[in-house]
Structure 1
Amino acid sequence: MNLTPHGRISTMESIPTSLIKSLNDLGLSNYDARVYAALVLYDNAEAKEIIDFLSISKPSVYEALDHLADMGLAVKRISKPARYSAISPEMAINLLMDKHRDAGEQALAALITLEKKKVRTDKEDALWTIYGDANIEYKIRDLFGKAKRQISCMIGERYLKFIEKVKIRDVSLKLIVISDDEALQGKLLALFPGKNADVHVISPAQFSVPPPFAPPEFVEITKLMNFENTLELIIDDEELLMIPPFISSSVSVLNTRNKGAILQTKMFSQLNWNRFIDGGEMPFPPPPAPKKKRS
């Protein structure tokens, strides 16, 4: 810490930029954060000392001091000239956290009310693309959490960490996890207990076996796929989240409320369920052989 000949701190190096950013995140402006940090450094100080130390304008310092006093983060001592001191950092952080918590609870209640009045638009039928693991994780957890009647999901093991700690309602859950880990079945049953959960583990190799009436190109198609990338998630027959099983260095998700896309995906999901879980055949007859033309 650098001091002047009078023993005063002379540089902002004593106040880390990271501290100012953290105080910003807790709701303080740049000036409020810098003035509060300066007051913590001083046992008590006049406005002029803070102005000299921070090298910011007199009006900005006085405005910050008044704001800090109104918030209860600083105490103004009646004297001429007036002197200011900061409340303890522990008390200040608790005060700011309580303020954020109260604001968050009020905002959540108001937003839930707005969500119930949601205006439906034609754009809900569009296909939206979501990028980035953090955004994908949030969307998966969001859909699992808000399902009210049923969840139908086929998911690669790589995404399992996104739903391990998610809380879901007592809804019908049909879940297929694509993995070579045979012990995963027991773990999944523990994660999703209850009579409404129908959970299974299918190996990627099983998906490579051609289904009945598969086209001749099926073997070549499977070489271009990584089934562990698969994600098909439908909630309440109202919203779809899908990641195709393609080989790719980056992952993007298709998200839609389009009824046609949902019903088509649901149909193919049911075909897979019938094939891998129920052990049945494809529920449609083979296509008729093309008629030979008479020469």
Structure 2
Amino acid sequence: MDKIPQKLIESLMELGLLESEAKIYIALAIMDNAEVKELINLLGLSKPNTYEGLRMLEEKGLVVLINTRPMAYQVTPPDIGLEMLLKTHLDAKKEAQKLFSTMDKEKFVEKSRETLLHVFGEKSIDFKIKDMFDSATKSVFMISSPQYIKYIEILTEKKLKLDITIFSEGKDTEEALKKFFMDKEGNFQIISEENIANIHSSKITGPQELKEYKEALSMFEYKNMMVLMIDDSEIMYVMPFSQDSLSAITTKNKSLITLMKLGLKDITHQLSKN
């Protein structure tokens, strides 16, 4: 069956099905029920792969055997089947979290050590940002481009001290922040990218430094940048570089956070004066 969308197959594989299982499930979802020989002819799968795929789908509760001679199966409708697959993943997540939290690290390494920095790639940054906002209980400090404003909605029901700086040229960003901050404690400001770019230029003393400074700025992609500090206990820095994939670092190291806080206060002070 060449007409099955490849993206649909890949989506089911992301939910834990093998490719053959995904194809069988989709075919049955289209037909509602079918004999095994129909599926073999329709999908071009081998007989062993088809029977094994049906066995695994039946084990997951996604298909039901409705006849034995000839063997025929009926599908669990996709609106139910997808929920079942998702629940399997969520249950596995809870169990894994529980086991990770109780695992004795000393059984694996002689000496447990604190990781100074954690690195996050493009696919995991989104989840880490949401996790940090979800875990905030006291305060949020943030300097970022408008693309990260969407995460602020997570804070709607929380009473936190907020200090948020967004660099943008658009009025829509300012209006969105004003609306959000109406009943919130804290500060916010909108500043231009030019102000950020020139924040250190006054300290440049010679033409060579100016040249190097401009070369460095040319590599920056401010739409990617974000600095996020939660409860003065964790900081995330999303790199503002022009590159194909985003990367970020986080730390919970108290000494590093103290030093970074001082630097961030200096930056926001200079920005507020410009």
Length-normalised TM-score, structure 1: 0.66
Helix, strand or coil for the counterpart of 2:137?
Answer: coil
User: What is the alpha-carbon distance in structure 2 between the residues aligned to residue 184 and residue 155 of structure 1?
Assistant: 12
Aligned residues: 257
Task: Please tell me the residue identity of whatever aligns with 1:77.
Answer: N
Q: Give the one of 65, 72, 82 matched to 1:75.
A: 65
Counterpart check, 1:255 vs 2:244: no
Task: Please tell me the residue identity of whatever aligns with 1:265.
Answer: M
Helix, strand or coil for the counterpart of 2:142?
Answer: strand
The 3 A distance-change label for structure 1 pair 234 and 75 is same
The 3 A distance-change label for structure 1 pair 136 and 49 is closer
The 3 A distance-change label for structure 1 pair 184 and 85 is closer
Task: Please tell me the residue identity of whatever aligns with 2:74.
Answer: A
Counterpart check, 1:163 vs 2:163: no
Instruction: Tell me if the contact between 1:155 and 1:176 (Cα under 8 Å) persists in the aligned partners.
Output: yes
Helix, strand or coil for the counterpart of 1:122?
Answer: coil
Match of residue 108 from structure 2: none
User: What is the alpha-carbon distance in structure 2 between the residues aligned to residue 271 and residue 42 of structure 1?
Assistant: 65
The 3 A distance-change label for structure 1 pair 103 and 259 is same
| Matching of residues 199-218 of structure 1 within 5 Å | 199-207=188-196, 208=198, 214=203, 216-217=205-206
Per-residue CA deviation, residues 57-99 of structure 1 (Å, 9 max, x unaligned), is 5444444444445526233325xx3331424xxx421231221
Match of residue 190 from structure 1: 179
Q: Give the one of 98, 114, 118 matched to 2:83.
A: 98
Q: Give the one of 162, 169, 176 matched to 1:173.
A: 162
Task: Please tell me the residue identity of whatever aligns with 1:240.
Answer: I
Identity of aligned residues (%): 21
Instruction: Tell me if the contact between 2:116 and 2:251 (Cα under 8 Å) persists in the aligned partners.
Output: yes
Structure 1 stretch displaced more, 168-177 or 32-41: 32-41
The 3 A distance-change label for structure 1 pair 60 and 196 is same
The 3 A distance-change label for structure 1 pair 172 and 113 is farther
Length-normalised TM-score, structure 2: 0.70
User: What is the alpha-carbon distance in structure 2 between the residues aligned to residue 163 and residue 257 of structure 1?
Assistant: 21
The 3 A distance-change label for structure 1 pair 123 and 184 is same
The 3 A distance-change label for structure 1 pair 209 and 22 is closer
Q: CA RMSD in A?
A: 4.0
The 3 A distance-change label for structure 1 pair 263 and 211 is farther
Task: Please tell me the residue identity of whatever aligns with 2:186.
Answer: A
The offset of 1:217, in angstroms, is: 4.8
The 3 A distance-change label for structure 1 pair 179 and 241 is same
The offset of 1:264, in angstroms, is: 1.6
Specify every segment of 5 or more residues in structure 1 that has no aligned partner in the other structure, as ranges. 1-11, 280-295
Instruction: Tell me if the contact between 1:69 and 1:76 (Cα under 8 Å) persists in the aligned partners.
Output: no
Match of residue 3 from structure 1: none
Counterpart check, 1:268 vs 2:263: yes
Helix, strand or coil for the counterpart of 1:75?
Answer: strand
Helix, strand or coil for the counterpart of 2:250?
Answer: strand
